[in-house]
Amino acid sequence: MKQKTSPGQKIICLNRKASFNYFFHELLEAGIALKGSEVKSLREGKASIADSYAVDKNGEIFLINSHIPLYKQSSYNNHDPKDDRKLLLKRKEINKLIGRMNQDGLTLVPTKLYFLKGKAKVQIAVAKGKKLYDKRQVKKKRDWNREQRRVLSNSKK
């Protein structure tokens, strides 16, 4: 599936596993507070948000378990690759997200990490985890659609 990108957007990494493991209710865009060596490492295009998630700490939202590798040219000023990173959201959005996480049992999952007009952004999904039977249903539907396309393409030839 092709992702739509706006003209000033450079995608760094995607979390493809997230759409298989979660139902998305809402997508949000948040800034991310980074150090200089983290930004330079991201500009090289090396990062991973595959197993990461966002949590509430003292009324702020933090991205946990995201991996931004060390920047080689930065010597003593380097960062911790698995450090928690603060997400930059407005207070109203933070309160809304914390309320949904506590009441509805939803989680915050990053789906995309990208640069937009020179600023690092994270697309966050307010999501609910899928059960095993939901995952099997998605897999069956995907296989069925693939088989339909194969049959249609063979019949056109």
pLDDT digits (tens, 9 = 90+) for 77-119: 787 778 888 999 999 999 998 888 888 878 899 999 999 988 9
Overall average pLDDT of the 125-153 stretch: 87
Phi, psi at 25, each rounded to 5°: -100, -35
Overall average pLDDT of the 22-46 stretch: 88
User: What are 115-118's contacts with CB under 8 Å, separation 24+?
Assistant: 115/9, 115/10, 115/12, 115/42, 115/43, 116/6, 116/8, 116/9, 116/29, 117/8
Cα 86 to chain centroid distance, Å, stands at 14
- How far apart (Å, rounded) are the C-alpha atoms in residues 72 and 142? 41
Phi, psi at 89, each rounded to 5°: -130, 160
Overall average pLDDT of the 135-141 stretch: 86
pLDDT at site 80? 74
Phi, psi at 52, each rounded to 5°: -95, 165
pLDDT at site 2? 56
* 1 pLDDT more than 60: no
Superfamily of 9-130 according to CATH:
Small protein B (2.40.280.10)
Overall average pLDDT of the 26-47 stretch: 88
Pair of tokens at residue 84: 């928690």
- Do 127 and 109 meet the contact criterion of CB atoms below 8 Å apart? yes
pTM, two decimals, is 0.77
pLDDT at site 92? 93
pLDDT at site 6? 67
Q: What share of the chain in percent tops pLDDT 70? A: 96
- Do 68 and 81 meet the contact criterion of CB atoms below 8 Å apart? yes
* 41 pLDDT more than 70: yes
